[in-house]
Structure 1
Amino acid sequence: MNTFSNIKELLSTLHREEKLLSEMFKRRKTTDYKFEYALELVEDNENKIQYLIDRSVIRQNGNTLEIDDLYLHFFEQVLEANEEINTSYINENLEKVKQNINYYFNEQNEQRKYEYLRIIKNTFRKIGIITLRNVVDLKRNIENTFKTEPNYKNKRSKLINLDNKRRDITKLIEQTEHLITEDDITFFKTATDEELSRIIVQLKLQLQKCTHNLIEIEKQVIAFLNQIQLQSGIVEKLRQIKYLKDQFILESTTDLKQVLAINRHVVFEPNPSYPLKLSLENLQTDEGAFKSIQKIAIRLKSGVKHKQPVADKISDEYLETQIEEEVQINLEEVKNGFVAGSNNLFDFVISYNFSKDVSFEERVTIYCQMVSQYESIFEITDQFSEKGKIEFAMIFPK
Structure 2
Amino acid sequence: MRTFSSIKELLAILSREQRLLSEIFEKRKTLSYTYDHALEVVDFDTDKIQRLLEYSVLRANGSYLELDDQYLQFFEQVLEVNEEINVSSINENLQGIKQNILYYLKEDNENRKYSYLRLIKNALRKTGVTAIRSVVDLKRNIDITFKNEPNYKVKKAKLEHLDIKRNDIYILINLTDNLVSGEEEQTFFKSAADEELQRVIVKLKLQLKECRHNLIEIEKQIIEFINRLKYQSGLVEKIRQIKYLKDQFELKSKTNIVEVLQTDHALVYEPKPAYPLKLSMEQLQNDGEILEIIRKVLNRSRSDAKVKQPLADHSLEGYLEADTQVIVQVNLEEVKNSFLAGSNNLFDFLQTYDFGRVLSFEERLTVYCQLTSQYDLLFELTEKYQISEETEYLLIYPKSI
TM-score by length of 1: 0.69
Offset of 1:17 from its aligned partner? Answer: 0.2
Give, in whole Å, the separation in 2 of the partners of 1:217 and 1:52: 41
Give, in whole Å, the separation in 1 of the partners of 2:196 and 2:303: 81
- Cα 1:53–1:245 change in 2 (3 A) is same
- 1:305-333 Cα deviation digits (max 9, x unpaired): 7xxxxxxxxxxxxxxxxxxxxxxxxxxxx
Offset of 1:244 from its aligned partner? Answer: 2.0
The match for 2:353 is none
The match for 1:194 is 195
The match for 1:68 is 68
Give, in whole Å, the separation in 2 of the partners of 1:179 and 1:47: 52
The match for 1:259 is 260
2:144 partner letter? N
- Larger of the two Rg values belongs to structure: 1
- 1:72-127 Cα deviation digits (max 9, x unpaired): 00001111111111111100100110111011111111111111111100000000
The match for 2:97 is 97
Give, in whole Å, the separation in 2 of the partners of 1:249 and 1:234: 20
The match for 2:291 is none
2:236 partner letter? V
- Cα 1:238–1:8 change in 2 (3 A) is same
- Cα 1:271–1:72 change in 2 (3 A) is farther
The match for 2:347 is none
Give, in whole Å, the separation in 2 of the partners of 1:190 and 1:215: 35
- Cα 1:233–1:110 change in 2 (3 A) is same
Within 5 Å, give how 1:23-172 maps onto structure 2.
Answer: 23-172=23-172
Q: Secondary structure at the match of 1:66?
A: strand
Offset of 1:210 from its aligned partner? Answer: 0.5
Q: Secondary structure at the match of 1:3?
A: coil
Give, in whole Å, the separation in 1 of the partners of 2:36 and 2:271: 60
- Cα 1:82–1:285 change in 2 (3 A) is farther
- Cα 1:58–1:285 change in 2 (3 A) is farther
Aligned alpha-carbon RMSD (Å): 2.5
- Cα 1:104–1:262 change in 2 (3 A) is same
The match for 1:236 is 237
Q: Secondary structure at the match of 2:80?
A: coil
Q: Secondary structure at the match of 2:65?
A: strand
- Cα 1:36–1:267 change in 2 (3 A) is farther
Offset of 1:242 from its aligned partner? Answer: 2.3
- Cα 1:285–1:176 change in 2 (3 A) is farther
Offset of 1:180 from its aligned partner? Answer: 1.2
Give, in whole Å, the separation in 2 of the partners of 1:18 and 1:284: 71
1:79 partner letter? L
| Structure 2, gaps ≥5 residues long | 279-293, 311-401
Within 5 Å, give how 1:202-221 maps onto structure 2.
Answer: 202-221=203-222
Offset of 1:270 from its aligned partner? Answer: 4.5
1:117 partner letter? L
The match for 1:250 is 251
1:32 partner letter? S
Give, in whole Å, the separation in 2 of the partners of 1:122 and 1:4: 26
Offset of 1:7 from its aligned partner? Answer: 1.4
Give, in whole Å, the separation in 2 of the partners of 1:104 and 1:203: 21
2:41 partner letter? L
Give, in whole Å, the separation in 2 of the partners of 1:71 and 1:169: 25
Within 5 Å, give how 1:314-393 maps onto structure 2.
Answer: none
- Cα 1:270–1:22 change in 2 (3 A) is farther
Q: How many residues align?
A: 292
The match for 1:22 is 22
- Cα 1:214–1:44 change in 2 (3 A) is same
Q: Secondary structure at the match of 1:212?
A: helix
Offset of 1:243 from its aligned partner? Answer: 2.5
Give, in whole Å, the separation in 1 of the partners of 2:304 and 2:58: 68
Q: Which moved more, 1:235-244 or 1:201-210?
A: 235-244
- Cα 1:153–1:275 change in 2 (3 A) is farther
Q: Secondary structure at the match of 1:31?
A: coil
- Cα 1:281–1:199 change in 2 (3 A) is farther
- 1:186-228 Cα deviation digits (max 9, x unpaired): 2111101111000000000000010111111111111111111
Q: Secondary structure at the match of 2:220?
A: helix
- Cα 1:283–1:62 change in 2 (3 A) is farther
Q: Secondary structure at the match of 1:183?
A: coil
- 1:45-88 Cα deviation digits (max 9, x unpaired): 12111111111111111221111111000001111111111111
Offset of 1:38 from its aligned partner? Answer: 1.3
| Structure 1, gaps ≥5 residues long | 288-293, 295-302, 306-398
Q: Secondary structure at the match of 1:227?
A: helix
1:85 partner letter? I
Offset of 1:304 from its aligned partner? Answer: 6.7
Give, in whole Å, the separation in 2 of the partners of 1:125 and 1:205: 12
- Cα 1:265–1:286 change in 2 (3 A) is farther
1:135 partner letter? V
Within 5 Å, give how 1:271-282 maps onto structure 2.
Answer: 271=272, 279-282=297-300
Offset of 1:275 from its aligned partner? Answer: 7.1
- Cα 1:281–1:220 change in 2 (3 A) is farther
Give, in whole Å, the separation in 2 of the partners of 1:273 and 1:53: 77
- Cα 1:34–1:175 change in 2 (3 A) is same
Q: Secondary structure at the match of 2:85?
A: coil
TM-score by length of 2: 0.69
The match for 2:286 is none
